[in-house]
Chain A
Amino acid sequence: MNRLVKSSYLTAIYSFFYLPIIILIIYSFNDSSYSLLWHGFTLHWYKQLGDDMALAVVTLHSLEVSVLSATCATLIGTLTATCLYCYTFFGKRLLHGLMFVLIVSPDIVMGVSLLILFFLMKMQLGFWSLLFSHITFCIPFVSVTVLSRLTGLDKNIFEAARDLGASDFMSFKRVIIPMLWPAILAGWLLSFTLSLDDVIISFFVTGPDFQILPLYIYSLVRIGLKPELNALCSVMFIITLFIVGIFQLVLRKKEA
């Protein structure tokens, strides 16, 4: 009985997660431009996806920003976390708290305040303003992920490293980074996804010369989403599955 409840509960949860995605993938093969009924199987939308230069440009823009911002945020975030963990300095608790404030503060607040900042700096909106904003909102997520892993580790290891004559930099490079590897990867992936699908902050800070995928998709909602976008989302989902699979493999090897 208990077992039945458990498995049906899990099934319910997972179908809630994955059913919409499966439906989206099925509809990417539907032979109709706007109808939501089944009109037969076609690969037409995948072919059109391959030919659509405008969509390709927008998608590349999005990937460019996500990879760059995730990488920068991971670098800065990891350093921040290490700093907060290893050293004691004035205002440390405040800094730690402020990080959480950024995580829970609504996107709209962040978007508007960044817009005002760029406006005051007379900075032209576009690629750079978008990149800086994305790095900014990704950093706290990385630091929190890394910090939680750090606090779970044995502090004596770092002291041992220092006892044995490693400099701060050396112990960071040789001891801390290798042990944090899974958390750093997780932080990178988290930032990458957050940056890739952000609509609200991007709406405010992007400029005319840099359209990104989420904003493009959003602007199509009223006109009717093309099945081409279903095809694109399916492709992206498959790629994500692939990346997550690789990460799992790498991490498992590390743990073993």
Chain B
Amino acid sequence: MNNLILIIIGMAAVTYIPRLLPFFLLSNKQIPKRVDAFLKCIPVAAIGALIIPGVFSATPDMPMAAASGMAFTIIIGLWRGGIIIPVLGSVAVTYLVLFFTA
């Protein structure tokens, strides 16, 4: 077995185990209220950190392009809601801004 296959297997194990364990540690048990409150706050906390500051370097040479795409998502998302149009629209807007400023 070469080194790289060993690395891949090791990486797969240390990635999979943390993803798996909580499903067996937490389910089917009564979770204390305090812990439950904490778990409920995980999504917004995680997503905030996943978006900021990454989004500002999504189009490194032309930050305005990603910003325009996000502006489109915010406007359409707040106005009409939905997923597909806000997302595909933001890609299209970003593309157009990059295309015409390049």
Q: Do A and B bind each other?
A: no
B residues lining the A interface (CB < 8 Å): none
